[in-house]
Amino acid sequence: MRTQVAIIGGGPSGLLLSQLLHEKGIDTVVLERRTRDYVLGRIRAGILEAGFVNLMKEAGVAARMEAESFTHDGTIIAYGEEQFGINFKSLTDESVVVYGQTEVTRDLYDARDAAGGVVLHECSGVTPHDLDTDKPFVTFLHDGKVVRLDCDYVAGCDGFHGPSRQAIPLTVRREYEKTYPFGWLGILSETPPVNDELIYSSSDRGFALCSMRNDNLSRYYIQCSLSDSPDDWSDDMFWDELMRRIPSAAAESLVTGASIEKSIAPLRSFVTEPMRWGRLFLCGDAAHIVPPTGAKGLNTAASDVHYLYHALTAFYDGGDTEGIDRYSEKALSRIWKTERFSWWMTNLLHRFPEQTEFDLRIQRAEIEFLRSSEAAQRALAENYVGLPY
Ligand code: RFL
Ligand code: PHB
């Protein structure tokens, strides 16, 4: 089997890259470990930057998103009983879009199917080889057979636990990591959202977030202990705790209901350098992770896809290798800024176990400064809507 670009991982990064390259006449094969239903069952991101939306348009897959998504011009920051809005639109002239990662992934699968794209599911033992030569290949087991896929390049879009990052030798690879002493317990419920904008809430009991997917589908999160399991939290316990962590006006109007999904995600900041080694490119969660507080994981994956897609297009168009040579540097420059923002927003709004009274006063002062300073709000807004590519 042969293709131009072998893509390991059929999550949003792999599928978006595949679809964008297809639009430019470049052939790809996507190798995914899981079934399609499993990939579509993962409830993850909900907020898309304008840059992501533009890539979906460029990939020719924006029709349903344009019809069904919601534009958000701002967000609410709450602390105790206090709250204030940050208007992205007036501060930056940009907005964000509410459209779930599940829907993005579904649209991309549909587009790959319609174009006859090859996306192989339930591939096991996927292993890239000879990445530092000009004849790389990938081997894997599919339908009980060992398959060899020859290619020009390999895109490692296989998430945090995939094999691509490990293929970069330890003599070359550097990893930077910060873990946080808590997780997020999230639920999805078929109830109307408590507010028309997201509420990021800092409280004495810990952080809470009120988000949504549509008029009758809400997504809520609370900061939880890393030792908690979703089974420890009945729906009633979750709603009670959420209500204690948001201003009472919001708590009183909260519509509760049965959860249709409940999961815990640990919070982590992580970056691998470099993001290219020989003919391998890392893309998305395979190379970096942010805590979800700034809604940036999927969006940084999209900026990698942007740089990589332009690099590969320039190469296949006329042999220009500048984009390929500078991929890692360009992608990492934007990623580190986004890592900083996600880390900052996490520190601003969460309770940390070892925080002293002094730390708490400083945290409170920082939130109040944000409330009073247009410059501080603009800095948040500029990052939240997405830094330029
Ligand atoms: P993914 O989505 O992990 O996809 C990687 C794919 O690779 C497959 N794979 C393999 N395939 C073949 N062989 C192997 N050996 C393989 N190993 C793995 C996997 O099965 C999978 O299908 O990475 P990708 O494509 O880079 O996309 C990244 C995003 O999924 C991620 O950054 C976001 O979901 C993060 N995130 C958020 N991002 C945002 O931009 N906005 C948000 O509001 C937001 N909220 C969130 C989030 C992530 C969360 N969790 C659970 C981690 C909220 C949560 C709770
Ligand atoms: C979500 O809706 O899942 C979501 C929204 C904003 C975040 C994180 C997650 O910061």
Distance between CA atoms of residues 183 and 316, nearest Å: 43
Segment 133-160 mean pLDDT: 98
Name all domains of the chain by residue range, CATH numbers in brackets: 5-72+96-177+268-345 (3.50.50.60), 181-267+350-385 (3.30.9.10)
Match 């990662």 to its residue by tokens. 101
**What angle, 0 to 180 degrees and rounded to 10, lies between the N-to-C axes of helices 297-318 and 322-349?**
170
pLDDT tens profile 236-246: 999 999 999 99
Of 102, 200, 221, best ligand 2 pocket probe by most atoms within 8 Å of the beta carbon: 221
pLDDT at position 316, please?
A: 97
Quick one: which ligand is closest to 219's CA? 2
pLDDT at position 44, please?
A: 85
pLDDT at position 245, please?
A: 98
Nearest to 93 by CA among 67, 109, 74: 74
Q: Which amino acids bring their CB within 6 angstroms of ligand 1?
A: 8-14, 31-34, 39, 44-47, 101, 123, 126, 157-159, 161-163, 184, 186, 265, 284-285, 292, 295-299, 301
pLDDT tens profile 288-315: 999 999 999 999 999 999 999 999 999 9
Residue 331 has pLDDT above 90, yes or no: yes
pLDDT at position 329, please?
A: 98
pLDDT tier at 143, thresholds 50, 70, 90: very high
153-156 sheet: strands from edge to edge:
118-120, 28-31, 5-8, 153-156, 280-282, 276-277
- How much is the pTM? 0.96
Mean pLDDT estimate for the chain: 97
pLDDT tier at 45, thresholds 50, 70, 90: confident
pLDDT tens profile 182-222: 999 999 999 999 999 999 999 999 999 999 999 999 999 99
pLDDT tier at 41, thresholds 50, 70, 90: confident
